[in-house]
Amino acid sequence: MMTEFDVQPQPGADKTNMSLPELELVELQAMLDWLSTYGADSQGGVTRLLYDNAWSEAQHALAKQMTEKGLVPAFDQAGNLYGTLSSKESVSSAQDGVATYPIVTGSHIDSVVHGGKYDGAYGIVAGILALEYLHKHFGRPKRTLQVVSLCEEEGSRFPFAYWGSRSITGVTTLEEVQYLLDQQGVSFSEAISGAGFGPDRGLKPAAQTYGAFIELHIEQGQVLERNSCSIGIVSDIVGQRRYSITVKGEANHAGTTPMSWRKDALAGAADMIVAVRRIALQTGEPFVATVGRITAEPGVGNVVAAKATFSLDIRHVRQEILDRCWQEMLQTFSRIAGEEHLRLEWDEHLSVTPTPMNEKIRQDIQEICEREQISYLHMPSGAGHDSQIFQSACPTAMIFVPSQQGISHNPREFTTEADLMNGFRVLVRLLYKYGYED
């Protein structure tokens, strides 16, 4: 029976005994370094935001790499990039049922602002190299294999996340997001057409059905490292909500307006943010709440702020805890706004339910780890992932590798080459099983 955080003790160091041809030392690290040059910033970070220049250059460079590695690249209208290794026979004939649909692996190409080089990128690079490896040693699969470089997951540019997987699965259409604005006031539809995508420019998203989606990703936390464990088999992905909270007051003179007469939007927002932290601490782990951004208007040192807007991100693996904490936060915000003579507006721009991963694929990953003598544990994911969206469309699973010191969304994000290789090995095995054996 699989239990969360159930570490399987493994004597000695991890080793492989693959009956697949010995995995040559794959240049995973070199390819990750190469990909990180697209959007590299001056402080060693990576900033690749949906449809910006670095994003475009990276996606087109990956398409070229796919061709060089024997895959057939294609873009869809959202800018998701697919690299296909077709089966011997024609696939995707609906009469043959789900068994004929492609097995897909991959992750997202976008990053947070000033992020690291592994988040998302690892799953894409490993997927391309895995398909190249399988093709080289075993020829064409019985069942089509595909790697996808998803256009967006982070929600870093527009107040909307998981656009890549949501567009593929048909959960969201371009019509629903076209008017969203980024921080510079550029609309989603301007950005997508500027990057060369949009209606009639590429394959139709959701045009195909998947047999399974498998995402290889860095853990972004410290569970694996603390347990000296090589592979995390994700049991569930946290539910999360993201809000934009706007507090409105009145601009006034900093010298002549007595403290008690003010309608100070920024001071009210500050009280609300302190309350967010208090509620989160009282709720206890694994509940987390983050205010990562705040802006004030007019944003002048000697003027009482007329308006303050802050972000709020809350997460938990249970829906009822999310509901309860949000209600408590909202009541507290309303009380503070009332006391300070402010107006409160809020907008929920993301709501993703906690999502369990597919049991059967988890079991297959566990068996591969046991056969390969790679230590593993079953664990929830505190980060959001595209797999959360895919799970509603097809059987989906995630494989984690350790993140050094659990640091992520930071240029210091790091995973050792040995850990990258372990994840790669498990992915190759799994794709071999689904593509060539089953």
> Can you tell me whether residue 319 is helix, strand or coil?
helix
Any residues with CB less than 8 A from the CB of 102 and at least 6 apart, and which? Answer: 84, 91, 92, 143, 144, 145, 146, 208, 210, 211
Closest to ligand GLV by CB, 39 vs 435, is 39
Residue 183 C-beta: closest distance to Mn ion, Å: 18
Report how far residue 151's alpha carbon sits from residue 163's, in angstroms, rounded to the nearest whole number. Answer: 7
Residues 132-191 that bind ligand GLV (CB under 6 A): 154
Least distance from Mn ion to the Cβ atom of residue 107, Å: 6
Q: How far is the CB of 289 from ligand GLV (least distance, A)?
A: 13
Which helix (DSSP H) or strand (DSSP E) does residue 320 occupy?
A: helix 319-339
Could you tell me which stretch among 4-12, 39-47, 112-120, 166-174 binds Mn ion (CB under 5 A)? 112-120
Nearer CB in complex with Mn ion: 120/221 = 120
As measured in angstroms, the least distance from the Cβ of 215 to ligand GLV is 12
Closest contact distance (angstroms) between CB of 431 and Mn ion is 20
Q: In this structure, which amino acid lies at residue 19? A: S
Contact range with Mn ion by CB under 5 A, out of 29-37, 116-124, 223-231, 294-302: 116-124
State which residue, 212 or 216, has the beta carbon closest to Mn ion: 216
CB of 123 to ligand GLV, least distance (A): 12
Q: Which one, 14 or 154, has the nearer CB to ligand GLV?
A: 154
- Would you say 144 or 165 has its CB closer to Mn ion? 165
Interface stretch with Mn ion, choices 17-25, 113-121, 205-213, 275-283 (CB under 5 A):
113-121
Looking at the Cβ atoms of 112 and 279, the one nearer to Mn ion is 112
Residue 120 binding: pick among Mn ion, ligand GLV, none (C-beta 5-8 Å cut-off by kind): Mn ion
Stretch that binds Mn ion, among 117-125, 234-242, 282-290, 414-422 (CB under 5 A): 117-125
Q: Would you say 393 and 210 are in contact if contact means Cβ atoms under 8 Å apart?
A: yes
Quote the least distance from Cβ 357 to Mn ion, whole Å: 15
Asked if 384 is part of the footprint of ligand GLV (rule: CB under 6 A), the reply reads yes
In the complex, the smallest distance separating the C-beta of residue 328 from ligand GLV, rounded to whole angstroms, is 22
Q: Decide: 337 and 247 in contact? Cβ < 8 Å.
A: yes
Please identify, among the stretches 26-34, 111-119, 311-319, 340-348, the one whose residues bind Mn ion according to the rule CB under 5 A.
111-119
Residue 120 as a binder of Mn ion (CB under 5 A): the answer is: yes
The only residue of 14, 76, 119, 372 in contact with Mn ion, by rule CB under 5 A: 119
3-state secondary structure of 363: helix
Between residue 56 and residue 85, which ones bind Mn ion under the rule CB under 5 A? none
Name the token pair of 31. Answer: 């390819």
Query: Cα–Cα distance between 412 and 415 in angstroms, integer?
Result: 10
Give how far the C-alpha of residue 208 lies from the chain's centroid of Cα atoms, to the nearest Å.
22
Which sign, positive or negative, has the C-alpha torsion 98, 100, 105, 108? negative
DSSP string, 61-83: HHHHHHHHTT-EEEEBTT--EEE
Q: What is the 3-state secondary structure (H, E, C) of 364-421?
A: HHHHHHHHHCCCEEEEEECCCCCHHHHCCCCCEEEEEECCHHHCCCCCCCCCCHHHHH
Contact 50, 179 (CB under 8 A): no
- Residue 364 or 413: which CB sits closer to ligand GLV? 413
Taking CB under 6 A as the rule, which mask of x and - marks residues 334-373 in contact with ligand GLV?
----------------------------------------
Cα separation, 136 vs 240, whole angstroms: 41
Of the pair 154, 340, the CB lying nearest ligand GLV is at 154
Strands 252-253 and 303-304: antiparallel
Q: How many CA atoms lie within 13 A of 436 on its CB side?
A: 16
Number of residues that bind ligand GLV (CB under 6 A): 3
Tokens, residue 382: 């505190």
According to the binding rule CB under 6 A, does residue 383 interact with ligand GLV? yes
Q: In the complex, what is the shortest distance from the CB of residue 242 to Mn ion, in angstroms, rounded to a whole number?
A: 13
Instruction: Using DSSP, state whether 96 is helix, strand or coil.
Output: helix
Q: What is the full DSSP assignment across 121-158?
A: HHHHHHHHHHHHHHHHHH-S-SS-EEEEEES--S-SSS
CB of 215 to Mn ion, least distance (A): 9
If the CB atoms of residues 93 and 183 are measured against ligand GLV, the closer one turns out to be 183
List binders of ligand GLV among 244-303 (CB under 6 A). Answer: none
Q: Binds 384, which of Mn ion, ligand GLV, none (CB < 5 to 8 A, cut-off by type)?
A: ligand GLV
Q: Which residues bind to ligand GLV, rule: CB under 6 A?
A: 154, 383-384
Q: Which residues bind to Mn ion, rule: CB under 5 A?
A: 119-120
